[in-house]
Structure formats: structure tokens, C-alpha cells
Amino acid sequence: MGYLFTSESVSEGHPDKVSDQISDAILDKLLAFDPNSKVAVETLVTTGQVVIAGEVKTKTYIDIQETARKVINRIGYTKSEYMFDGSSCGVLNALHEQSDDINRGVDREDPMTQGAGDQGMMFGYASKETDDYMPLSLELSHRLLIEMAAIRREGREMTYLRPDSKSQVTIQYNDQDAPERVHTIVVSTQHDDFGPNDELMLQKIKKDVRNILIPRVIKQLPERVQALFDDEFILHVNPTGKFVIGGPHGDTGLTGRKIIVDTYGGKGAHGGGAFSGKDPSKVDRSAAYASRHIAKNMVAAGVTDEILVQLSYAIGVAEPVGIYVDTYGKSNVELSDGEIAEKVKELFDLRPAAIEQRLKLRNPIYEESAAYGHMGRTPRTVTKKFESPYFGNIEKEVELFTWEKLDYLEKVKEAFNL
């Protein structure tokens, strides 16, 4: 008998994602002017208010208020009727310096002996289910909201859209773990006030989601995924009805509260550590990227059709204390999962400083990752500009999503005789 599996996503205007993007924008600006900055920034957003707290050690200075306001306006919170807008909201800066007790375990004379910024375990996952080696349910959930944001910004259709939205996709699988069909789609979107007739409003939004949004998403998909959509899928749109009050006014947002959306949509596993606002000395972030890099290259090279990779660290210790691999019985090589883990250890230098260097993580590359998932994204090179009244203006060419590169394929194939 087959089964159902569900993943969700949230938009860039969701309160938790507003917080993530502010935290990562602050991190990016600090890294742009001082690549050695140590940063752990948490953001809270609520009605008309932003609170930024955390620990920073840096040689530079940035305007926290200006950085936060730019993010909020970019997302689309630009009207006072939203009860939260970038030009008028209060911004409280409660940042302070990083503890020397933590820093002493991280900074070393020899950078390659740099210890992990904290203890913990991090997971990476990949499968052959999609071209991006990601779970299909999560990829579709992200795509729905990315396209809805594009429609909102175009301003030609669905002109009532506001920034806050969520999606959820349920996939029906057969006994061989292969996707059979899209079973259920849930879309909830904040919208302008339509007036007293809530029923007409709901009918309009549901019609537009079915006839405008979903067809635009389907057109972007490979033919084999398009074939999974039939006329029988269940569609829920704004199931509670009216959704005018949203964003930080409707629900307080916090950095790091959407870690499953950020990773694999419930597939595989998660170590519990959030990403946004943290510089790469924090293995919560860097080792999670490294484990995804390993997993994706292993599946793409043909070692296995599905894999989960766990890395674990002790604070202040450079080498991981453990490497674990689970191929779910889908390995294509005659090695145990333990033997595969040993080869992973030989192939990939997993000391924090080595991960930073290999994936080019001491660059301002993080704001783009803070909405629509950190994994399964397309690597690309961009030029970013940063302005400072104190240190001048700089331009930096940086690589985004380096952990998604398939740059270890030949090394993996050689190691596994593929």
C-alpha cells in the first residue's frame, strides 16, 4: 500500500522569515566589511516593532536600523495599514560583544585548528526524487510561494496579495517510494480587505490560485513532474476564510523558527540548530551546508539513490566527533553504511576552517538563503554592493549556494570505483 508525505513552506513575508532575513542581512553587511566577524544575531518582529539582539565581535560598524528597514521594505511591508512597515516601525538594537569564553575555543593561531563554535549534530540529505536532489513536496511548496511573490511584485494579476503566505503540498507515493501524484495543495495568503462579503472574496482567491498561480508553477516543472498533476488533487485556499491581518502584526516572528522549511521539509532528519544570523564558525550553519554538499555529490555520483549524512561536533574541537551515513537500503555499492562513512571522512575535510574555505563561507552570501530554503538552490555568482557612511562603499563578487555545487563528482566516483 502506498503512502502520503507532506512538506510546507512559508513566504519571505512570513513573520519568522522577516526575522531570518533581517538577521542574515546584518550578518552579510558585517562580513562584507570584516570577513572575520563573529556573529550571532536574533531578530524579533511584532506590531510596529523590531528587536535585534545577540552577540557580535567585529572590527567594523554598521547601521543596524537602516539595514533592517531596507529588508522590510524589500519584502513589501511598505504600507501603514499593514501595521508594520519599514519606514516607520521601531527598531531596537540590543547587540553586545561575543563572550570571550566562547571565542577562546574558536580563534586559534593556526586557522585550520579552529574549533567548532558549539557542540551539536547537523544533517544533510539528498535523493534522486527531483533534479535538485530534494524532496518533491518541499520543492513544490517553495515554488508556489516564489511564484506568488513574483505575481505580487508584477502587480498585474491577483493585485490584492499581501506579503505573508504559506503553502503545503502532499504527495502520494507507491510501494516503491516513487511519487504517483500530487494529492493535496494548501495555500494561505494574506490579502487586502475585500469588504463585507467574505464568501465572494474567498471564491475569487481560490479561483485565482487554481487558474493563475498553479498553472504558472506547473509550466516551470519537468514533464515527469507535470504529469503528477491531475484534475483530482485537493485544493485548500485560505481554509479559515479571511486573512487580512497578517505579517508581524498578525503573528510575532522570530529568527530560526522555520528550520524544517529551511532544510528538507521533514525528510531525513534535523539536528535542531537554526542557520540565519550565524557566521560560519557556528557549525549549526557551516556543517549543515557541508553535509548537504556531501549528500548531493554522493547521490549525483551514483553511490546511492538516497542518503542521510550526520556530522557531530564538540565545542572548541576541530575534527568532528562522529560521521554517520544512512542510505535507506538504496546504496549502489557493495559497502556497508559504516564503510561509506569512512570514505566520506577521507574525501571531505570536515574541520570548520576547511569547510569555510571549501564553500567560501566567509563572504556576504546569506540574505539570499534566508527565504525559500537554504538547500536545493541554484549556485550562481553575483555582484553585491554595500554602503557605509564610515567605511565607504564596496562591491564584492560572491558565489551563492556553493554547497549545492556538484564539484566533487569525479572524486566520489574515483573513491567508489564508479
142 has binding-site annotation: no
33 has binding-site annotation: no
Amino acid identity of 160?
Y
180 has binding-site annotation: no
Q: Which regions of 142-202 does DSSP assign to beta strands (E)? A: 161-173, 179-191
98 has binding-site annotation: yes
274 has binding-site annotation: yes
118 has binding-site annotation: no
SS3 384: strand
275 has binding-site annotation: no
Q: Which triple of cell numbers denotes residue 104?
A: 577562546
In this structure, the number of other CB atoms found within 10 A of the CB of residue 182 comes to 23
Q: How far is CA 295 from CA 130, 234, 314, 328, in A?
A: 14, 33, 22, 13
Q: Which triple of cell numbers denotes residue 99?
A: 563572550
**Cβ 106 vs Cβ 63: under 8 Å:** no
123 has binding-site annotation: no
282 has binding-site annotation: yes
Question: CA angle 399-401-405, nearest 5°?
Answer: 95
258 has binding-site annotation: yes
In 3D space, the residue among 68, 62, 60, 67 whose CA is nearest the CA of residue 36 turns out to be 60
**Locus of grid cell 517510494:** 177
SS3 109: coil
342 has binding-site annotation: no
164 has binding-site annotation: yes
Under the phi-then-psi rule, with left for phi > 0, alpha for psi from -120 to 50, and beta for the rest, what region is 266? Answer: left
Please state, in angstroms and rounded to a whole number, the distance separating the CA atoms of residues 418 and 413.
Answer: 5
Query: Residues annotated as binding site?
Result: 14, 16, 42, 55, 98, 164-166, 242-243, 251, 257-258, 274, 278, 282
Query: Residues annotated as binding site for Mg(2+)?
Result: 16
Query: Residues annotated as binding site for K(+)?
Result: 42
Query: Residues annotated as binding site for L-methionine?
Result: 55, 98, 251, 282
Query: Residues annotated as binding site for ATP?
Result: 14, 164-166, 242-243, 251, 257-258, 274, 278
